[in-house]
Amino acid sequence: MPRVRGHLREGVREPGGIVRYPLDRLHQEVAYIAYHFHWPPDDIMEMPHKQRHAWAKEIGVINQRINKSFDS
């Protein structure tokens, strides 16, 4: 049996990984993306965590560029 299945079968578990994403953080990400991109919150909620996080990060980059242009 493959290594992962063997560990599961034997009850051995390695630490790490996301058990549950904090609900308040999820709501912040959804609100942030919905506000900036005008996407429906339900569509954002259905995104995988990594994809939603990538969009939120990209919005941050866009905002930094815009704010920097005002400083110049």
Note the pLDDT tens digit of each residue in 15-35.
Answer: 566 567 788 999 999 999 999
| Segment 35-67, tens digit of pLDDT | 999 999 999 999 999 999 999 999 999 999 999
Q: In this structure, which amino acid lies at residue 70? A: F
Look at residue 5 and tell me if it is in a domain.
Answer: no
Which residues lie below 8 Å from residue 39, measured CB to CB, with a gap of 6+?
33
Which residues lie below 8 Å from residue 52, measured CB to CB, with a gap of 6+?
29, 30, 33, 44
Q: What is the pTM of this model?
A: 0.67
Pairwise CA distance, residues 36 & 31, whole Å: 9
Write down the pLDDT at residue 22. Answer: 86
Look at residue 8 and tell me if it is in a domain.
Answer: no
Domain limits for position 34:
21-71
Other beta carbons less than 10 A from residue 72's beta carbon: 4
- Confidence band of 1 (pLDDT split at 50, 70, 90): very low
Pairwise CA distance, residues 53 & 47, whole Å: 9
Look at residue 31 and tell me if it is in a domain.
Answer: yes
